[in-house]
Chains A and B, each alone.
Chain A
Amino acid sequence: GAVVSQHPSRVICKSGTSVKIECRSLDFQATTMFWYRQFPKQSLMLMATSNEGSKATYEQGVEKDKFLINHASLTLSTLTVTSAHPEDSSFYICSASRDSGNGYTFGSGTRLTVV
């Protein structure tokens, strides 16, 4: 079945530094990748949608200069949280889909803690 690998699973960083999260589709080409943010006991909130080779589309209220998304290939998308602050601490989850409309495959998530 389709597998999406997300790394790292946990990361602790100092306030003001940047953190990169990788999302890879291991056995299929992901036409589109999505990045979500989830606070404790809350739902997944879509941050942005990225298509290979083009700029990401950000949801309203998401700072594109703070959350940099790169989708350089059909199997890799990265999310970089720049100048992280404690309020950026959250669970970040990626997912990938194909144009076939067969649904979405989610990564296992990244727990970001900014101290």
Chain B
Amino acid sequence: QQQVKQSPQSLIVQKGGISIINCAYENTAFDYFPWYQQFPGKGPALLIAIRPDVSEKKEGRFTISFNKSAKQFSLHIMDSQPGDSATYFCAASIGGYNKLIFGAGTRLAVHP
């Protein structure tokens, strides 16, 4: 049973545009929702994370929107740049230190 569903599988955005990736979770016990960026051959790197007590968190060009009632959260990348081209993963865990469950990933390509 897939606990974290991520869409779209791939995304093409023009430079300067907004990239939006969505995730939905099933387990209501999840209370830590991070987003990771991964380049080929590298480990994932944390971009931004949110807990259910807030509906939005912004760090630079990256924003997480969180909808607890719908059990959904999304990543918005503003002013997308070619250097943002990578695979993005949403994830969820209980407590922020227990096992982390990943979404399927989104391959983002930002065209100049």
Docked-complex contact A46 and B44, CB < 8 angstroms: no
Docked-complex contact A103 and B32, CB < 8 angstroms: yes
State whether A100 and B43 are in contact (beta carbons under 8 Å apart), knowing that A43-B105, A44-B89 are contacts in the complex: no
Docked-complex contact A103 and B96, CB < 8 angstroms: yes
Query: Which residues in chain A, 45-76, are within 8 Å of chain B measured between CB atoms?
Result: 45-46, 49
- Give the B interface residue count (CB, 8 A): 24
Residue of A nearest to B36 (CB): A106
Residue of A nearest to B4 (CB): A43
Task: List residues of chain B with CB within 8 A of the CB of A6.
Answer: 43
> How far does the alpha carbon of A98 sit from the alpha carbon of B95 in the complex, in Å?
10
Contact mask B39-53 → A, CB, 8 Å, 1/0? 001111110010000
Using C-beta atoms within 8 Å of the partner chain, give the interface range for chain A. 20 to 34
- Set B43, B95, B98, B105: member contacting A106, Cβ < 8 A: B43
Residue of B nearest to A46 (CB): B99
Contact mask B81-112 → A, CB, 8 Å, 1/0? 00000000100010111111111110100000
Q: Which residues of B contact A (CB under 8 A)?
A: 32, 34, 36, 41-46, 49, 89, 93, 95-105, 107
